[in-house]
Amino acid sequence: MQVETSAGGIVYRRDGDDTLFLLIRDSYHNWGFPKGHLESNEAADHAALREVQEETGLGVLRVQGTLDTIDWHFRFRGKRVHKVCHFFLIETAEQATTPQHAEGITECAWVPYDQAERLIAYDNARALLLQAKALLVRAGVIGEASNSPALPALPALPALPAPPELPA
Mean pLDDT (the chain) is: 88
Residue 147 covered by a domain: no
CB 49 within 8 A of CB 62: no
Using the predicted structure, report yes or no on whether residue 144 has a pLDDT greater than 80: no
Residue 38 resides in a domain: yes
CATH of residue 70's domain is: 3.90.79.10
What pLDDT does residue 164 have? 52
pLDDT in tens, 118-142: 999 999 999 999 999 999 999 999 8
Q: Does any domain span residue 155?
A: no
User: Mean pLDDT over residues 136-165, rounded?
Assistant: 58
Q: Is residue 82 a part of any domain in this protein?
A: yes
Please give the tally of structural domains in the chain.
1
Structure pTM?
0.83
Model pLDDT, residue 154: 39
Range of the domain at 129: 2-138
* Dihedral sign computed on CA atoms, order 103, 108, 113, 119: negative
Q: Does some domain include residue 162?
A: no
